[in-house]
Amino acid sequence: MADIRHADPLLDPLFTTDAAADAFSPAARLQGMLDFEAALARAEASAGVIPAGAVPAIEAACRADLYDPHALGAEAALAGNTAIPLVRHLTAMVKAADEEASRFVHWGATSQDAMDSGLMLQLRRFLDGLDADLAELADGLAALADRHRATPMVARTWLQHALPTTFGLKAAGWLDALGRDRQRLAAARGRLALQFGGAAGTLAALGEAGPAVAEALARDLALPLPALPWHASRDRIAEPAAALGILAGTLGTLGRDIALMMQMEVGEAFEPAVPGRGGSSTMPHKRNPVSCAVLLSCAIRAPALVGGLLAAQVQEHERGLGGWHAEWQALPDLCRLVAGAARHARETVAGLTVDAERMRANLDLTRGLILAEAVAMALGERMGRLAAHSRIADASRRAAEAARPLRDVLAEDAEVVRALGMDGLDRLFDPLRYTGSAAHFIDRVLDNHRQTQGRQS
C-alpha cells in the first residue's frame, strides 16, 4: 500500500508537521482499527471466547500496508464507514491463510468499536508528540522570560503606549497561558478510553464473557477501561478538541504580538533570519512574519473546527447518526493544524531576535509621557491624588503640544520640584523603576514551569 501522508503536498508542509500528518494518515487510521482487531482476538482467546489457534492468522493480517486505502474508501462510500469494508477485507485475508480463524474476526464487536478505539490510539500518539513540542516551546519561553526580566519595553493597551513593562514579563505571560493549555490537554489525554460495546453498547454477543474480554482488551491496548461504552457520549472527543482550540488562541496571541513587534516602525523583535524565509516575490528588502502568519491562520481556522465537534456531541439514543460522522475529518484537521502552529511557535521562540535597544528607544517616543502615572502617584503622596493627577495631566498636555520632554516641563514647576526634588524627578523617569511586581510575577511563572517540567521528566 502506498504511504499517503500529506494530502496537499503544496500547503501541508507549511501548516502541519510530519508527525501529525503521520498520526492521522490513512495508514495510521487503518492501523489503529487493525490494532484493535488484533488485540480483540487476543483478549477473546484469553477469555476462552474464541480458539487460541485463531489468533496468529488474525494478527498476521492486521497490517495496514496489506490494504489499499483507495479501494476501502470506495467501498466505504457505500457502506457508510471505513470499518465495514476493512473488516470484510481483513476476514478475506485471514481466510486465505486459515479458514477456521476467519470465522472469529471482529467477533462480538461493532464498527464504531474499531473506529473509536483506533482513534483513541491515534490521539494518544498525537498528543504525546504535541506535548513534546509544547515542552520545548515552554522551555524557550522560560529562557526568554529569565533573560529579559530587566529588559524594559512599552506595555501597550488598546495598541497605544500605556506604561513601562519588561519583555521578560511579556514572555512569562505567554508561558503561563501555555502551561494551562498543557494541563488541559493532559487532562483530556487522561480521559481517552477504550470503546467496546458491541452493536448496542451491551456486549450481548459475548454473553457473560463481555466484561472479561473488555478488561483484557483495555490492558492489551493500554487504554483505560471506561465504566461503560460511550458510543453516543462524545465528550472524549469534544474535550481534546476544545483544549486544542484554546491552545490555538494562545499561539495566535503569541503570533500577533511578535508580528506587531516586527513592524518596521516598532522593530523590537523578529522571527529567525533563515535563507529563503519571509521574503517577498517583488521586494528584496522584506522580512515577513511567516510563522506568525501560520499561528494567526490556525487561530482563525480552529474555532470553526472546534465548533463543529462541539455540535457533534448531540447524538441519538445508543448510536448517533451524522454527529459521529462529522468527527472523522474535523478532528484530524484540527490536530494537524494546531501541531503546525506549535512547531512554528517553537522554532520562532527558539530563534527570536530581540532588539533591547529599540525597546528602550520606543519607551522615549512620548518624551516621558509614558511615566506620567509614576510622577502623579509620587506627587499624590504630597498633595493628594486628585490634585496631583490634575497637575500632571496639565503638564502632559503642555509637553505634548510643545513636543517637549515631560520631565523638562515638570522641572519648571516650582511646586513639583519642591515636592519631589530634582533627583527624585530624575528617578521617576527611569522606566525600570516603574515596572512594579514584574520580576515577582516572572519568578512565580518560572517556578510553576520548573515544577511542571520536573513532574513530566
Catalytic amino acids? Answer: 280, 319
CA–CA separation, 14 and 10 (whole Å): 8
CA–CA separation, 155 and 367 (whole Å): 15
SS3 4: coil
Q: How crowded is the C-beta side of 244, counted as CA atoms within 13 Å? A: 34
CA–CA separation, 383 and 361 (whole Å): 32
- Helices marked H in 104-225: 111-147, 167-190, 210-221
The three three-digit cell numbers of residue 10, written as one number: 503544496
The three three-digit cell numbers of residue 197, written as one number: 460495546
- CB neighbours (10 Å) of residue 169? 23
- Among 140, 169, 143, smallest CA distance to 154 is for 169
The three three-digit cell numbers of residue 70, written as one number: 483507495
CA–CA separation, 36 and 166 (whole Å): 52
- Among 84, 85, 47, 67, smallest CA distance to 3 is for 67
DSSP 8-state code for residue 156:
E
Place of cell 452493536: 199
- Cα 399–chain centre separation: 46
The three three-digit cell numbers of residue 251, written as one number: 499561539
